[in-house]
Amino acid sequence: MAIETLDDLAVQGTTLGVRIDINSPLTDEGALADDARLRAHVETLSELLERDGRVAVLAHQGRPGGDEFRDLRPHADRLDELLDAPVGYADGTFSGEARRAVESLDDGEAVVLENTRFYSEEYMEFPADRAGETELVDKLAPVLDAYVNDAFAAAHRSQPSIVGFPTRIPSYAGRVMEAELDVLGDIESTPEPRTYVVGGAKVPDSMAVAESVLERGLADTVLTTGVVANVFLLADGTDLGDASADFVYEQGYWDEIDRAADLLAEYGDRIRLPVDLAVERDGDRHEIAVDDLPPREGEAAMDVGSATVSAYGEVVRDSGAVILNGPAGVFENETFARGTRDLFETATDAEYSVVGGGDTAAAIRRFDIDGFDHVSTGGGAALNMLTGEDLPAVEALRN
Ligand SMILES: Nc1ncnc2c1ncn2[C@@H]1O[C@H](COP(=O)(O)OP(=O)(O)O)[C@@H](O)[C@H]1O
Ligand SMILES: O=C(OP(=O)(O)O)[C@H](O)COP(=O)(O)O
């Protein structure tokens, strides 16, 4: 069944639950370090407000227990600046007070409801029917006329605010969702050879993608960077030193090391690992060949080294399509930004290049890199889609 879009929705005077993805990097003080994901949703929100909708924004920030698990007040303040309409903030998601804030909206007004993940069921995965019966959906659906999902970046999560509402109220794709589905739905027609560059810190997501594209023959080469590369190196028997290994173990990524070992055994000829890594030594960047590891006590691998960037660069330049997700290192720290900056710049030389990921997109803006054919607002969602997997959010909108 075709997905309905905002073209199919009679907006005026209706109260809309609009799920967006404004999960953003934050400063240590909890302020927004990057507002790109907010700006991405301006088109959808402005359209709904200009068409006299009453908009209740649903969104998450961070993961429970993480440093970036914070409230959405800064996001509401920034949206208020970005939109030509008043944007309020409710410090509850579906409390009586939050519901009253939704019910008292006027035409052309918006309110940002509190971080959906402050509510425990939101961080669980459910089939859509069951998600439709969770507290969040059960309490909010009665005060909403319709639901709009514009949160492409969270479309791979089968969580209540993503898949629950379409089982209860009429539901539509927002403009970001619509555009992403159009572009990313057509990856099999991108030019070959295809290279996937998987990096960053969300190792299970990246590993699932690597496995899938290798199995399906979609990837001619997988280049590994970031923490993902560290996991592959550990799986390959490299002594990374305690600091890097402990970082991986503390995240509970034991299974990912086994998975990486299986992938290397099966598809080793198509997977590339870094040949050198960068650590901090005496306050400076210091590069070490993988053959010369481990580093000194306490030194952690924070970036890929120059030899890796140049080896990967050759693969990338010869690629028809490059699909890239995840920074190559701790790019937020200038000492370890080089791998990410140089590799990303090289990726724009491929015939066709697609990038995804919140931090990845932030790195692109930070380094002012132009020339990608598509910069997705999604990381995991984009890559799931590129590998041909169904996105729960999209399935929910179809039913
Ligand atoms: N070697 C590394 N050690 C620790 N963190 C790393 C390393 N390489 C990359 N990172 C971190 O990975 C984070 C981004 O990963 P991720 O969330 O997976 O990316 P995205 O949001 O683009 O999907 C960044 O904060 C970066 O500092
Ligand atoms: O940032 C996100 O995903 P991404 O890092 O894959 O782009 C989304 O907001 C989903 O967040 P999650 O991976 O904590 O479910």
Q: How do beta strands 15-19 and 54-58 pair?
A: parallel
Backbone angles phi, psi at 32, to 5 degrees: -70, 125
Residue 36 CB less than 6 A away from ligand 1: no
Backbone angles phi, psi at 281, to 5 degrees: -135, 125
Same domain, 246 and 131: no
- Evaluate the CA torsion angle 45, 46, 47, 50 in order and state its sign: positive
User: What is the rounded distance in angstroms from the CA atom of residue 119 to the CA atom of residue 101?
Assistant: 18
Task: State residue 384's pLDDT score.
Answer: 82
Report yes or no on 322 lying in a domain. Answer: yes
Instruction: Give me ligand 1 centre to Cα 329, in Å.
Output: 6
**Which of 143, 161, 181 is the last residue in one of the domains?**
181
How many domains are there within the chain? 2
Same domain, 324 and 257: yes
Burial class of residue 43, CB neighbours in 10 A (0-12, 13-18, 19+): middle
Ligand 2 atom with minimal separation from the 157 CA:
15
**Segment (H or E) for 38:** helix 36-40
Same domain, 93 and 134: yes
What are residue 280's DSSP bridge partners? 285
Instruction: Give me ligand 1 centre to Cα 303, in Å.
Output: 10
Same domain, 76 and 34: yes
DSSP string across 294-318: --STT----EE-HHHHHHHHHHHHT
- Structural domain boundaries enclosing 377: 185-386
Instruction: Give me ligand 2 centre to Cα 208, in Å.
Output: 14
Q: How do beta strands 194-198 and 221-224 pair?
A: parallel
**Which of 130, 151, 181 is the last residue in one of the domains?**
181
**Which of 181, 202, 221 is the last residue in one of the domains?**
181
Instruction: Give me ligand 2 centre to Cα 60, in Å.
Output: 9
Burial class of residue 39, CB neighbours in 10 A (0-12, 13-18, 19+): middle
Report yes or no on 275 lying in a domain. Answer: yes
Ligand 2 pocket test, candidate residues 23, 209, 355, 376, most atoms within 8 A of CB = 23
**Segment (H or E) for 45:** helix 42-50
Q: Which residues of 119-133 are buried (b: 16+ CB within 10 A; e: fewer)?
A: bebbbeebebebbbe
Crossing angle of helices 358-366 and 338-347, rounded to 10°:
90
Same domain, 156 and 193: no
Ligand 1 pocket test, candidate residues 22, 227, 331, most atoms within 8 A of CB = 227
Residue 174 CB less than 6 A away from ligand 1: no
Report yes or no on 399 lying in a domain. Answer: no
How many C-beta atoms surround the C-beta of residue 178 within 10 A?
A: 17
Backbone angles phi, psi at 87, to 5 degrees: -125, 115
- Helix (H) and strand (E) counts for the chain? 16, 15
Ligand 2 atom with minimal separation from the 377 CA:
7
CATH number where 202 lies: 3.40.50.1260
What single letter denotes the amino acid at residue 7?
D
Same domain, 294 and 359: yes
Residue with tokens 């302020």, as numbered in its chain: 31
Q: pLDDT tens for the chain, 399 residues: list them.
A: 789 999 999 999 999 999 999 999 899 999 999 898 999 999 999 999 999 999 999 999 999 999 999 999 999 999 999 999 999 999 999 999 999 999 999 999 999 999 999 999 999 999 999 999 999 999 999 999 999 999 999 999 999 999 999 999 999 999 999 999 988 888 788 999 999 999 999 999 899 889 988 998 989 999 999 999 999 999 999 999 999 999 999 999 999 999 999 999 999 999 999 999 999 999 999 999 999 999 999 999 999 999 999 999 999 999 999 999 899 999 999 999 999 999 999 999 999 998 988 789 889 989 999 999 989 998 889 878 877 788 999 999 997
Return the beta strands (E) in the chain as ranges: 15-19, 54-58, 87-89, 110-112, 146-149, 171-173, 194-198, 221-224, 271-272, 276-281, 284-289, 303-304, 321-325, 352-356, 374-375
- Cα–chain center distance at 360: 8
How far lies 26's CA from each of 6, 23, 35, 111, 227, in Å?
Answer: 31, 9, 10, 21, 20
Same domain, 193 and 96: no
Same domain, 54 and 164: yes
Task: State residue 387's pLDDT score.
Answer: 73
Report yes or no on 260 lying in a domain. Answer: yes
Report yes or no on 356 lying in a domain. Answer: yes
Residue closest by Cα to atom 9 of ligand 1? 329
Instruction: Give me ligand 1 centre to Cα 330, in Å.
Output: 6
DSSP string across 115-165: -GGGSGGGGS---HHHHTTSHHHHHHGGG-SEEEE--GGGTT---IIIIIG
Pocket of ligand 2 (CB under 6 A): 21, 23, 63, 153-154, 157, 202, 357-358, 378-380
How far lies 200's CA from each of 103, 180, 356, 360, in Å?
Answer: 41, 21, 11, 8
- Lookup: tokens for 318: 């010869």
Residue 241 CB less than 6 A away from ligand 1: no
Task: State residue 233's pLDDT score.
Answer: 98
Report yes or no on 341 lying in a domain. Answer: yes
Same domain, 172 and 232: no
Q: What pTM, to 2 d.p., does this model score?
A: 0.80
User: What is the rounded distance in angstroms from the CA atom of residue 70 to the CA atom of residue 67?
Assistant: 8
What are residue 32's DSSP bridge partners? 26
Report yes or no on 397 lying in a domain. Answer: no
Same domain, 159 and 95: yes
What interface predicted TM-score (ipTM) does this complex get? Answer: 0.89
Same domain, 167 and 205: no
Same domain, 190 and 174: no
Residue with tokens 């088109």, as numbered in its chain: 43
Report yes or no on 230 lying in a domain. Answer: yes
Task: State residue 307's pLDDT score.
Answer: 98
Residues in the chain: 399
- Cα–chain center distance at 295: 31
How far lies 22's CA from each of 90, 213, 240, 263, 380, in Å?
Answer: 16, 28, 35, 33, 15
